[in-house]
Structure 1
Amino acid sequence: MKQGNKEERQPFFKFFDRKSYLLMAVMMGGGIALRAGGLALTPAGILFGVNDWNEKG
């Protein structure tokens, strides 16, 4: 057993503050909802089309 380099362990829930956990929950919930609704790639496709149209025009 090593005696030299001991670090105090912290619980995982102290990694972020409340605001960060709330933002993470909203982002994950939104992503899950988009995938469940079959709309996950729709905004990316629309944005790709708009950018392509603007470059050609």
Structure 2
Amino acid sequence: MITHDIEIVFNVADRIVVLRLGQVVYDGPTKGISQANLVHLMAGIAPASGDKQ
């Protein structure tokens, strides 16, 4: 599946691969990363204070 919908990813996927600028920046189990860190890897920006972890 290819999606930017974080909720779907965490509800459906067992494993996540994140590509940014054509490079793999994360390849691992869904349980191995928080939603905030996933967004950080996808966007290249730090999560805002108070974001769901």
Rg bigger for which structure?
1
Please state which structure has a larger fraction of its residues in helix.
Answer: 1
RCO higher in structure (CA 8 A, sep ≥6): 2
Please state which structure has a larger fraction of its residues in strand.
Answer: 2
- TM-score, normalising length from structure 2? 0.29
